[in-house]
Structure formats: structure tokens, C-alpha cells
């Protein structure tokens, strides 16, 4: 079958894929038809020097700026993929709370030993015969730590890529703003031919078809498992967790505090969860940029939506609380934060938050 035909057959699945991701709490954005890169910007956003910061297109619901436009809003998703079903589906990893290990299987010459596992010396007397790609280097790292390689982790969502690689999806640790890496290039790296997709990046959704082929889930698991502790330590060791900026404590607004108390009623776990995420949003007021405001507000809205579904709050109360906190953190940016709140509440409402379950 020709690549163009494969793309055409995927058209009817794109909207369903985007909606499934959004219902899982993973903000989505369109990818160019048949490709794994974001859909193109409008003419204004293509102008030299133009950035996503303050761009009116994002507030207006356009898909400019790739993962910066990602949303959970089902109405917007229907509009985007309904108008062009040939678009692929990308997931913004940071707002989705995801860390995805991207294992490549490229035919490349083996690099110097000090680049195979950054920070871990490999002596000259060790035979590297047979080591050929990211699957191998990741397996060596896992063997050194006495654990199962993520590529073989059948407890989490794994997706085979058209090039023969593998995407291994995990849920990020709460409060950790993991950063993307550039594989074996300069800067942070986990292993040769092993990239990390996290905050500041996106991943192709399972089921998406490009001209190269389809991203196919491996096995029956469709949910990301929590990021393993050993892998979190490796990511921190290799520079994927920047030093935390600790702003001055910000109080949660009075109305939000009252909601936390109201959500208690014998369900203290849920109440604490709401209070924690609201405080994280409020704390963004001390950091004008780079505070992961959208990511934190999305998590708060998702948590509040779960409380609404469980009967601890009304939808109106939740919306008002979130808007109050968001306005204090980002005054005058209602067009930016309103879609985030609406989408997060909608996604969270599909998963009632019980006392023993963290969002």
C-alpha cells in the first residue's frame, strides 16, 4: 500500500485518537498531514521574531505554535480535526504530566565510549560487539542498575514507531518538571539513541499514521505507569531536572481555601490534592515566565473536575475557584486560562476523584 493511501485511511481515526487522548488528560495539538511535525503556523505567526508569548492565536483557539496550542477542549478538538481529518495527533508532554522515553534504532556508527551512557565510564577492556542502537544502550543501563529495561516494561504504554524505535510512556512524579533531552547530542542525554520527551516537547499519539507508517501500541496496556524511581534518579543524574526555583510562598485565595475545606468531609486525601494543586497555580504569580503555569492550571482543573464528578463540588464552584486562582497568577489573561480550565474540568469529570486515588 502506498504511503499516501495509509495516510488517507488514518483520516477517520484522527479525531477519535485526539478525543481519546484528551479524555485521558493529555492535551493535544495537530500534526501536519502525513508528518510527525506540528501543523504550520498562520502567516502572522510565521513572521520573523514572532513567538508564542502573548500570541493572540492561542487565545483565539488556533493551532499555531505546536504544543503551545495543545488543549483538552473537546469542542476545539472537534473543530480542528473536523475541518481537516488528515491532521495527525501530537500530545504536549509537560501539560499532560508525561515523561516518554524515545528509543531509536538508527543505523549509525557507534560513538565514543563516553557518549554511550553519559556520566558512566565504560572501560576499554569491555567488549562492545553487538551494541548497535538505543535498545542496546538502554538495556546496558538497566542491567547496571539491576532492573528491567523500559523497552521491556510491559506494565506501561509502549508504542512502536515506523522507524523501528519505541516510545515508552510514563506518568511524571508530582511536582517534578522533567525536561526534554537531545539524545546523544550536546547537553542532557540519558543514553546514546535514547531521547526523553517531557516539558517543552511533544510526542506522537499512538494510532497516528504518517507517510512512514503507523505508531502502533505494543501489547494490551494503554495507560502510562508511574515513572520508575530508578529511572527518575537517572534522569535527575543526567540533567533532566533543572534546579528548582523556589518563589516566596503564595497563599491560596480565600474562596479556594473554603472549597478545600468543603471538599474534606471525611475525604481528606481529595481535599489535600485540591489544595496542593491550587497552591501551585497561585505560586506562578511570583514567576512571570517559565513557571509551567498552563501545566499547573491544567492539573488543578483536572483535579477539580474529578471532585465535581465525585460530588464534592459543583461545576460552577470549581470554575469560579479556578478562575480566581488563575487571575491572581496571570492577571488579564482570561483568554489564555479559560480554555485550559474548561478543558481540564471536562477531562477530569470523566474520572471521579475518590478519597484513595491521587489525580
pLDDT digits (tens, 9 = 90+) for 61-107: 889 888 999 999 999 999 999 999 999 999 999 999 999 999 999 98
Q: Does residue 152 have a pLDDT over 90? A: yes
Helical ranges in the chain per DSSP H = 3-23, 56-59, 74-83, 93-96, 134-145, 229-237, 254-262, 268-282, 293-309, 315-329, 334-348
Closest by alpha carbon to 122, among 111, 130, 132? 111
> Average pLDDT, stretch 283-308?
79
Query: Can you tell me the distance from the alpha carbon of 286 to that of 9, in angstroms, rounded to the nearest whole number?
Result: 48
pLDDT > 70: percent of the chain? 82
Contact (CB, 8 A) for 274 and 260? yes
Average pLDDT on 341-359 reads 74
* Residue 12 pLDDT: 73
CA distances from 278 to 100, 104, 153, 187, 272 (A): 26, 38, 33, 33, 10
Task: Please say if the pLDDT value at position 186 is more than 90.
Answer: no
Tens of pLDDT, residue by residue over 215-255, are 999 999 999 999 999 999 999 999 898 765 444 445 555 55
> Do 70 and 29 touch, CB atoms closer than 8 A?
yes
Residue scoring higher pLDDT (35 or 9): 35
Mean pLDDT (the chain) is 83
CA atoms within 13 A on the CB side of 121: 3
How high is the pLDDT of residue 347? 87
For 312-322, what is each residue's pLDDT tens digit? 778 888 888 89
What mean pLDDT is predicted for residues 40-67? 85
Q: Is the pLDDT of residue 151 over 80?
A: yes
What local confidence, expressed as pLDDT, does residue 271 receive? 57
Closest CA to 196 of 212, 214, 179: 179
What's the half-sphere exposure (Cβ side, CA atoms, 13 Å) at 163? 14
Listed in sequence order, the residues at least 6 apart from 321 whose beta carbon sits closer than 8 Å to its beta carbon are 253, 255, 256, 259, 278, 304, 313
- Whose CA is closest to 62, among 86, 49, 46, 271? 46
- Note the pTM of the prediction, 2 decimals: 0.69
Among 284, 184, 200, residue whose Cα is nearest residue 241: 200
CB atoms within 10 A of CB 283: 21
CA pair distance 168, 262, nearest whole angstrom: 39
Amino acid at each position: 500500500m502506498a504511503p499516501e493511501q495509509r495516510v488517507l485511511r488514518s483520516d477517520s481515526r484522527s479525531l477519535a485518537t485526539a478525543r481519546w487522548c484528551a479524555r485521558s488528560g493529555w492535551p493535544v495539538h495537530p500534526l501536519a498531514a502525513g508528518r510527525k511535525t506540528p501543523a504550520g503556523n498562520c502567516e502572522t505567526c510565521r513572521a520573523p521574531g514572532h513567538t508564542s508569548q502573548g500570541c493572540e492565536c492561542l487565545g483565539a483557539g488556533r493551532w499555531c505554535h505546536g504544543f503551545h496550542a495543545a488543549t483538552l477542549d473537546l469542542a476545539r478538538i472537534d473543530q480542528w480535526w473536523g475541518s481537516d481529518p488528515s491532521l495527525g495527533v501530537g500530545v504536549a508532554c509537560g501539560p499532560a504530566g508525561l515523561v516518554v522515553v524515545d528509543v531509536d534504532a538508527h543505523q549509525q556508527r557507534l560513538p565514543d565510549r563516553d557518549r554511550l551512557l553519559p556520566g558512566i565510564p565504560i572501560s576499554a577492556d569491555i567488549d562492545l560487539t553487538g551494541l548497535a542502537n538505543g535498545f542496546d544502550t538502554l538495556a546496558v543501563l538497566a542491567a547496571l542498575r539491576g532492573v528491567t529495561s523500559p523497552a521491556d516494561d510491559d506494565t506501561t504504554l509502549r508504542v512502536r514507531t515506523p522507524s523501528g524505535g519505541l516510545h515508552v510512556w510514563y506518568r511524571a512524579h508530582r511536582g517534578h518538571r522533567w525536561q526534554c533531552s537531545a539524545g546523544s547530542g550536546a547537553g542532557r542525554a540519558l543514553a546514546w539513541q535514547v531521547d526523553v520527551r517531557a516539558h517543552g516537547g511533544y510526542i506522537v499519539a499512538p494510532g497516528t499514521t504518517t507517510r512512514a507508517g503507523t505508531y502502533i501500541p505494543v501489547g494490551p496496556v494503554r495507560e502510562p505507569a508511574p515513572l520508575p524511581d530508578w529511572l527518575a534518579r537517572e534522569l535527575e543524574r543526567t540533567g533532566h531536572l533543572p534546579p528548582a526555583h523556589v518563589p516566596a510562598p503564595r497563599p491560596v485565595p480565600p474562596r479556594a481555601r473554603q472549597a478545600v475545606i468543603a471538599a474534606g468531609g471525611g475525604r481528606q486525601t481529595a481535599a489535600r490534592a485540591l489544595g496542593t494543586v491550587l497552591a501551585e497555580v497561585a505560586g506562578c504569580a511570583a514567576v512571570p515566565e517559565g513557571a509551567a503555569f498552563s501545566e499547573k492550571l491544567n492539573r488543578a482543573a483536572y483535579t477539580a473536575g474529578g471532585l465535581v464528578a465525585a460530588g464534592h463540588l459543583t461545576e460552577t464552584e470549581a470554575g469560579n475557584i479556578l478562575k480566581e486562582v488563575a487571575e491572581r497568577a496571570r492577571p488579564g489573561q482570561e483568554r489564555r486560562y479559560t480554555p485550559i480550565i474548561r478543558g481540564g474540568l471536562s477531562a477530569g469529570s470523566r474520572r471521579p476523584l475518590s478519597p484513595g486515588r491521587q489525580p
